[in-house]
Each structure stands twice: as C-alpha cells, then as structure tokens.
Chain A
Amino acid sequence: MMNSERTAYRIQGARVIDPFRNFDGVTDVWVKDGRIAGQPEPDAEVVNGDGLWLVPRLLDMHVHFRDPGLEYKEDLESGSKAAAAGGFTAVCTMPNTQPVIDIPSLVQWQIERSRQLGLVRIWPIGAITKGEAGRELAEMYQMAQAGAVGFSDDGHPVADSRLMRAALSYSAAVGKPIIQHAEDSRLALGGVMHEGAVSQQMGLGGIPAEAESVMVWRDVELAGLTQGILHVAHISSPGSLEALRYARNRGLRVTAEIAPHHLFLTDEAVREWNYSPLTKVNPPLRPAQVQQALIDAVRSGLVGVLASDHAPHHADEKAAPYDEAPFGISGLETFLGSVITLFLGQGLLSPLELFAKITSGPHDVLRVAYGGLVPGQEADLTLIDPRVQWTVDPRTFYSKGRNTPLEGSRLTGRAVATMVGGRFTMRDQEVLG
C-alpha cells in the first residue's frame, strides 16, 4: 500500500554519494511525488542528514525470498522488510521457489505482490530452464515481457553445454543476462565446504575451487561462441577470476558478482564455529589467499557487483549435522555493514567506488536505466550512518532467516533510512509498512 503521508522531503546536509553520475559531495536533495525534485518545495519535511551518507537506489541483484512455496523460510513480505531494514530499495529474487518462477504469470505475481507491499522494488529473475530441471529452456521472451530482468537456474548450474549455448544465444536476443550458478556438480559431489587443509583436518567433504571455475571457463567459451550476455553469480575462485579476465580481454559480455561473506570470512570460520552449519554456504567460504584475490578483484574493478545471495533458512534446518544442513546465509541485513567495515574501514575503496558495486554496477549488468539523484528520477535512496558501530544480533532481523555466521560480529556502518518511490520504508531500523 503506497500510502500518502507527506509527499515532499528536503534531505539536508547529507554527503551525497551518487555513482550513477560519479558525484560525491554535500548537497540538499528534494523529493516530491515520488521523484527527485529540481527545486525547493514549500511543504517539504526536513530530514536532517548531518553526518550521514545519501546513496541512490541500492540494488541487491541476488536474493532468495522463497515465495511461493517455502514461506516457512522467508516470504515476500519478510524478505522485503529485511531488504528495507538493510537499506535496499530494489532486489532481484531468484526463481528457485516452489513452483519455480518459469512462466510469465509467476513473474507478474511477484511484481504485483511487491507493489502491494510497497517496501522494496522486486525485479524477478526467471528460470533459464523449465522447473530449473536443466532440460528445456523456459519462456524467456515472455518472462522478460512480464518484467523479469534476467534468467538463472540458481541453486543449480545449467550443466548441459548444448542447453547453455542455447540460453546464451537467447540472452543476446532478449537483452537480459543469463546468471549462472557455476558448479560442476560431479566435482562438488559430497562436498560441504571448501576443499583444503581445513576440510581435510575437520573430515568434512571438500568442494574444490575448480568445481566452480571449470564451469566458468566453459561458459566464457560459450559466451564467445554465442555473443551472449553472461553474468556469473557469487564468484569465489581464482580460476573463475582468470576466466573473467580472459573474457574481458576478448571483449565478451561477461560480468560477475561476489557475495559479502566470501570477502568477509574464510574457511577457518567453519572451524571457529565448531561445525555449526551457519557457516555452510555454496559456494563455500574460501581460504585466506582466495579471499584476498576476491577482494583484489573487487578493488581492481574486474568484479563490478556485490550481491548478498541472501539465503534464509529455518532454524531447525540449520540445527542439523553439517552434512545434512542446507547451504545458505541470511545476508540482507548485514550486507551494508560488512562491506563498509571491510572496504571503507581498511581504505580499500572510496565510498563512491564501493557503492558503485551495489548501485550502478548491478543496474548495468541488468541493463536497467537509472539516472541517480537527479530531478525526475524515482526517489529511491538510502541514508547511511557510516560510523555507527553495532553487533550483529540475528534475533533483531526482519528476515525469517537468522542463519548467519556474522552473529556476534562487530560491524561499522548501517542504513538508518530507506526510501522507495518517495516514501520511507525504513527509518531508524524500524520498517514502515
């Protein structure tokens, strides 16, 4: 319900960090009737932005809201609240629901439902193959028309090379990316964490980094063959980065994203958490030297997108033996804090460079046009307190998924207000709606 309290705001004194137009400076921003306004509005409510950062349209292009079918883990409402609380104004929902989002009506339903909720823009990702079964292509044209912004069988790879070739050929024509969950399932079989010294000492089944990179290399070759649009989800291995570099040098349309937990944690966390499945995630947490390579790839610009891979699970599912628990970390509400702590706390990126990875970066990948905080644009924005220190307490999450190995971590920086289409969806950690 887009209710209509006040419709005009003056956000005063905030440092505006706008990667869409490469702007970083203190300036007032006016909002009226859902859009950025060009001149002062007489009735505007003044929002004090002193000491805060103002960032346009934070987009998390990889979340699992589990709705329809798995609402006990998360639903569109709880997921949207988590997004708003985390400072996000738009998200891309992965289609591995029950049923799978593989037909236009389901895409429409998700969008319609998100409009009713009015908490976050939901841009659905449609399935590449019917039922994510990896056998026949889903109706990508129709879904794109219904509003799907990309296609993925996330949770599973498209293993069949012939089918992947077809999907990439299709993507070139549809103009939307194929988002691959790159994993050679046979190589990863039986694995529950990164294959290396820690897995060998803990006696847990290992997933070699190559289980990801062999498929990324194949996909890059197929992108070359088809001139398709490939985006590699949650990239996590040095070999994958090498393939990405190769693709970039050849001028292919290949991009990738990295999830904050792969940058923030290593496989040592599995040991530190004493086999708690909170650390179980796919791709798995990697050792320190891989973590460093991933951070370097973000810094160098080789990887232009950060995305949470928000994967909420019910507490009972994680209260299981490590092998039996599902993969996934609930990431929306720690996303900003962890990347600000990591990249800005250590001066690895400027704020403008960092926020490009969660604003203009994913917009570019999805080919969604947005101009930033300029008059006429939709007033999607987030106020961030970059200095506040807080301790992650999953009990305070809006997400139903409290599964995070960042529980108890001290983070710096978090969103204090989120606005979607000129309406506040969150203020002071309180989701409105």
Chain B
Amino acid sequence: MRDLLALQNLPAQDIRDILDLSQNLGEILDRPIKKLPTLRGKAIVNLFFEPSTRTRNSFELAAKYLGADVINVQKSGSSVEKGETLWDTATNLRQMGIDAAIIRHQVSGVPEQLAGVLDVPVINAGDGSHEHPTQGLLDVLTLRQAKGDVGQLKVAIVGDVLHSRVARSDIWAMRALGAQVVLIGPASLLPESYRELGVEVTTDLREGLAGVDAVQVLRLQKERQSGGEIPSQWEYRARWGLTAESLGWAKPDAVVLHPGPQNRGVEIDSDILDSERALVRQQVRNGVAVRMAVLFRLLGGAHDEQ
C-alpha cells in the first residue's frame, strides 16, 4: 500500500488489517501522554481545498499523537481562477520536503491525480462525490465494535447517496467485508447502477429498513432543494427522515450512524441522535484511531514497492 485513495478495489484483507490496527491503536487516545515517537521527524501536510474543520482536526490529531509534524494548508477557489495547475501544487509540496499529503478537494479525483505525480504517500480526506475512505473505515470499525462480524450484518444507507462520498466508501468497505447493503432515498438521489453490484436500492424507507442491523444516515445538503432534486426538507423528513417511528421498522437492536455534521430534525431526529443507539461519539473517536492506523500503515515501515 502506497496511498489511500479509495476503498473501491482495496482488498478485504487490507481493510481488515487497518481495522485491527485501528482497534489496537485506539488505546493511545486514553494515554496521559499522547505523543509517540512513531512518526517523529515526519512532516505531513493537510492540504484542504475545501474547508472541513472536523476532518482536518481528526487527521491533525492522529498525526500529532504519532509524533509527526503537521502543516495545514487551506486553499480555496478553483486552481484555474488562481492560474495554478495541479502540477504546480504538487511541485510546491515536493519542494517543501513533506513525507505525506492528506488531501481534501471539492472535485472528485484530485487526490488520485496528485498521487500520480507525488512520490510520497497521499491520503484522500474526501474528494467531491467520490470517496472518503477514512470515513468508510471508521464506520465499519464502529459497526464491528458494536455488532461483531460486519459480514453478518445488513446495513441501510439512507439519503443522498448519489452525491455522497461517504456512502461510496461505506458501500465498498461493507461489501468487501461481506455485509448486505441497501440504499434508500429519493430516486433522484440514488445511483441506480449500484444494483448491478448486488446492492439493494429502494425509495421506500419502510421496505428498506426491514431487518437491518444498522442505519447510516447521510447529511442532506441544502443545495438539493435548489437543485430541484427534492421539493423541500419537510417532505424529505416525512418520507426519509429517521424518526422514532421509522427506526422501529429496523431490527429492535439496530444501531444508527451519521457521518456528521447532523441536521437535527431533517434527516435524523434529536431523540435518536441522543440515544444509546446512535454511535456518533464512537465514530468521532474511531476517526482518530483509523487515521492513526492509516498514517502508520503508510509511513510506519520501509516503503512498499508496488
């Protein structure tokens, strides 16, 4: 493994190894001194073209706990506007002597494009509607901790799957581990072609939630209303919102995940979010563990030849 760009096509064994590693590194968060010498002297750049304090902080903490130095670079606007090509960005990073780049971009594929020209590991921290691999990993880790073997589970992903990089990474990770996946949402926001991959796709929340062990609730972006994909947040909530009533359609012990930030009262109700069944706090904690594991996996040994 040289980079972590996507979970699609990542072998199941690699996913399991990272989950095991994350599980074993999780205890570091409870230590009195959380600064290990593991990645001492490594310089890691958090290159965020799209603002995201949560993900950036999580990566930054993970890197710092392992002893690396982190520099945050926040860029905004299109590279075209700034008259800079992607290769300029890559050249600049290379000149800064960094050892790894964590990249978030609003356009799908940019981490992959940059990985093609950078000779250090690249970690995708979320690209466009493509993937958010560390989120996918932390979601399955959270499920594994709560429910055991993910391969025995049926998991529903509810919401704007079409535009969700989280959903994509979740689907690949869950499928690799053998889980059954059902996608639920308005037809205008569902990628129909996923049926061909053996994923269930339905617009009916009640039907979709029947018999599921876990529900991943996606954030509803406000733009979907102006984009004409849904009529209103209220109609969305009425048909696809996770409420006490609709959660009752899942298995009685079903757990709930949400990648955050949550729109309380839109895609998910507060009383669910604040209940024991919601694993959102574990997700945040696992996020740091998974990111430590990924950094350690990519930087913690001699360079893999691929």
Contacts and interface: CB of A to CB of B under 8 A. Distances in A.
Interface of A: 196-197, 200-205, 274-276, 316-317, 319-324
A281 B130 CA distance: 20
Interface in B64-123: 78-80, 85-87, 105, 107-110, 112-113, 116
B130 A203 contact: yes
Contact of B105 (A205, A319, A321): A321
B193 A197 contact: yes
Contacts of B112: 274-275
A3 to B, nearest CB: 41
B210 interface: no
A200 B191 contact: yes
A324 B78 contact: yes
A321 B113 CA distance: 8
25 contacts: A196-B193, A200-B162, A201-B193, A202-B108, A203-B128, A203-B131, A203-B165, A204-B109, A204-B128, A275-B112, A316-B85, A317-B80, A319-B86, A320-B79, A320-B85, A321-B78, A321-B79, A321-B86, A321-B107, A321-B109, A321-B113, A322-B108, A323-B107, A323-B128, A324-B107
A324 B128 CA distance: 12
A196 B191 CA distance: 9
Contacts of A320: 78-80, 85-86
Nearest to B85: A319
B255 to A, nearest CB: 27
A79 B108 CA distance: 33
Contacts of B108: 202-204, 275, 322-323
Interface in B130-188: 130-131, 162, 165, 168
B116 A274 contact: yes
Nearest to B78: A324
Interface of B: 8, 78-80, 85-87, 105, 107-110, 112-113, 116, 127-131, 162, 165, 168, 191, 193-194, 196
A316 B89 CA distance: 12
A280 to B, nearest CB: 11
Contacts of B87: 319
B85 A203 contact: no
Nearest to B107: A321
A203 B160 CA distance: 12
A201 B78 contact: no
Given A275-B109, A323-B107, A203 B127 contact: yes
Given A203-B131, A319-B87, A276 B78 contact: no
Nearest to A315: B85
A201 B199 CA distance: 13
A322 B193 contact: no
Nearest to B162: A200
Contacts of B194: 200
A201 B175 CA distance: 14
Chain B contact residues, majority secondary structure: mixed
Contact of B113 (A197, A275, A317): A275
A320 B86 CA distance: 5
Contacts of A324: 78-80, 107
A322 B107 contact: yes
A203 B105 CA distance: 12
Contacts of B162: 200
Contacts of A323: 107-108, 128
A66 to B, nearest CB: 18
Contacts of A275: 108-110, 112-113
A371 B87 CA distance: 51
Most B Cβ at <10 Å: residue of A197, A202, A203, A324: A203
Contacts of A205: 129
A202 B130 contact: yes
Nearest to B127: A203
Most A Cβ at <10 Å: residue of B107, B130, B162, B165: B107
Given A320-B86, A321-B107, A323-B107, A204 B168 contact: no
A197 B193 CA distance: 5
A73 to B, nearest CB: 15
A2 B246 CA distance: 80
A87 B85 CA distance: 34
A276 B193 CA distance: 23
Most A Cβ at <10 Å: residue of B80, B87, B131, B165: B80
B50 to A, nearest CB: 11
A274 B112 CA distance: 7
B225 to A, nearest CB: 16
Given A274-B113, A274-B116, A275-B112, A203 B196 contact: no
A117 to B, nearest CB: 31
Contacts of A319: 85-87
Contacts of B78: 320-321, 324
Given A319-B85, A319-B86, A321-B86, A201 B107 contact: no
A269 to B, nearest CB: 14
A276 B165 contact: no
A397 to B, nearest CB: 20
A202 B79 contact: no
Contacts of A204: 108-109, 128-130
A323 B193 CA distance: 22
Contacts of B85: 316, 319-320
A364 B154 CA distance: 61
Most A Cβ at <10 Å: residue of B109, B127, B129, B168: B109
A24 B128 CA distance: 54
Contact of B8 (A197, A201, A276, A321): A201
Given A275-B110, A322-B109, 12 more contacts: A196-B193, A197-B193, A197-B196, A201-B8, A203-B128, A274-B109, A274-B113, A275-B113, A276-B116, A319-B85, A319-B86, A324-B78
Nearest to A195: B193
B113 A276 contact: yes
Contacts of A202: 108-109, 130
Nearest to A270: B109
B163 to A, nearest CB: 8
Contacts of B79: 320-321, 324
Contacts of A322: 107-110, 113
Contacts of A321: 78-79, 86, 105, 107, 109-110, 113
A324 B108 CA distance: 11
